[in-house]
Chain A
Amino acid sequence: MRRVLPPLTGLAMLAALVLVFLLVPTEADMGIVQRIFYFHVSSAWVAFLGFFLVAGASAVYLWNGAPTADRLAYAGAEVGVLFCTLVLVTGPIWARPIWGVWWTWDPRLTMTVVLWAIYSSYLMLRAFGGGDAAIARYAAVLGIVGVLDIPLIVVSVRLLRGIHPAVITRTQGGTGLADPWMRAGLLVSALALILLAAWLVDLRVRGAQLEDEVAALRREMDARRGEVA
């Protein structure tokens, strides 16, 4: 798995780029800027996957205390925030020419920025909350509360005024992705980003594992040095 992920990600990325920039037709109303949609929507999916990974791994960690579950939760939050940031960057680039403003307090935009804030605060807690083992437990509590908040956020932001297109579900004036090339572009982009995210999570989990091993070795070294002296 570790061997195949990087080349597989590279291939999928290349395929996504070829599809989105060479094969997918230009959208009739919006023009060239619509092509950012394929990466924007895929990033949003991957961000959600990351946040659900945080919740699942957090629940497992509270249940059995496995260090791997804790590392997975941490990596999920990092990757989730990374892709959520990409959503928040690519969205305004599209919105500026189409809506005329970089940002508006539409339900989906509000939801995305709130989720970004929740999981950024998760990363802050882990980074600055102190180094002891209790932080992993506190973070797991936050990871579970965070995912419980998601449906509430989704419902509550609908009380706000909305203009965001819902392309896939064909509601709110969306037409669905009629063109097969467009559908292929979105699917392959999503696949490429999911593979990239999986690779990143794997790297981060392995990194955290190595950090723990180094810390354990260092403790052992200090103990032996104490014996000699």
Chain B
Amino acid sequence: MRDALAILAKDLRIEWRTREGISSVFVLGVLLVVVLTMAHDPSPETAPTLAPGVLWAAFVLTGMLGVQRGFLLERENDCLAGLLGAPVDPAAIYAGKLAANVVLLAVMQAVVVPLVGLFLHVDLAARLPALLLVCLLGFASLATLFGALAARVRAREVMLPLLLLPLLVPLLIGAVQATRAVLVGGLAGASGGLGVLAAFDVIFGVAGWLLFAYVVRD
């Protein structure tokens, strides 16, 4: 637990000193929201129906780059080897990295979500915090596992999206359906989507925790 917190603090400190990852990924998020909306050319009436799709497509794509960047940083100067050489349980490394990813992605979402609401005329910010957190956890638990994996293979830039995107399909469907239901009529219709998301969090939280050792062990 203490080790995990130390890794979390380290990652946040690196990010705070450069602000490089968060700002580049943030601008990319804004860009994606703009491009995805523009590509649909919505009328003011149809705009709200696009919001769930645009929001979660932008979320998945920016989140992937954010997580990837975190692990590519570790490759520089062999930081990853140092981290793995330290007397730390791999599960603690996983937990620390996972927490750091959740925090950084949450900060980014705090800006992108209201922006989607603004562009597409829906009041998202007030209704979605819990849903966002559930999605963030599920996304980060899988992305942390495969971010570490992809950073250690050849062709790593293309490998992470290739491996991660199809596995994230249940999360994407669940998030879009739950968001749509919440926007139309509150939580009642969102139970199907929320159930998928909750199961996704639990299954891949546990799987990531158990399998991470096999990814980082030499």
A155 in the interface, Cβ–Cβ < 8 Å?
Answer: yes
Which A residues are CB-close (under 8 A) to B193? 159
A209 in the interface, Cβ–Cβ < 8 Å?
Answer: no
A117 touches B165 (CB 8 A): yes
Which residues of A in the span 130-183 have a Cβ within 8 Å of any Cβ on B?
130, 134-135, 137-138, 140-142, 144-146, 148-149, 152-153, 155-160
B170 touches A152 (CB 8 A): yes
Which A residues are CB-close (under 8 A) to B204? 145, 148
B154 in the interface, Cβ–Cβ < 8 Å?
Answer: yes
CB closest residue in chain B, given A115: B166
Which A residues are CB-close (under 8 A) to B199? 152, 155
Query: When A125-B163, A153-B169, A160-B173 are in contact, do A144 and B192 touch as well, CB less than 8 Å?
Result: no
A125 touches B153 (CB 8 A): yes
Which B residues are CB-close (under 8 A) to A129? 153-155, 159
The majority secondary structure among interface residues of chain B is helix
- Chain A residues bordering chain B, tally (CB within 8 A): 31
CB closest residue in chain B, given A155: B196
- Give, as a whole number of angstroms, the nearest-CB distance from B158 to chain A: 8
Query: When A121-B163, A141-B211, A145-B142 are in contact, do A135 and B170 touch as well, CB less than 8 Å?
Result: no
Query: When A129-B154, A141-B211, A159-B177 are in contact, do A134 and B218 touch as well, CB less than 8 Å?
Result: yes
Q: What per-residue 1/0 map shows which CB atoms of A98-124 lie under 8 Å from chain B?
A: 000000000000100010011001001
A148 touches B163 (CB 8 A): no
5 new A-B contacts at CB < 8 Å, known A121-B163, A121-B166, A152-B203:
A128-B159, A138-B153, A152-B200, A153-B169, A155-B195
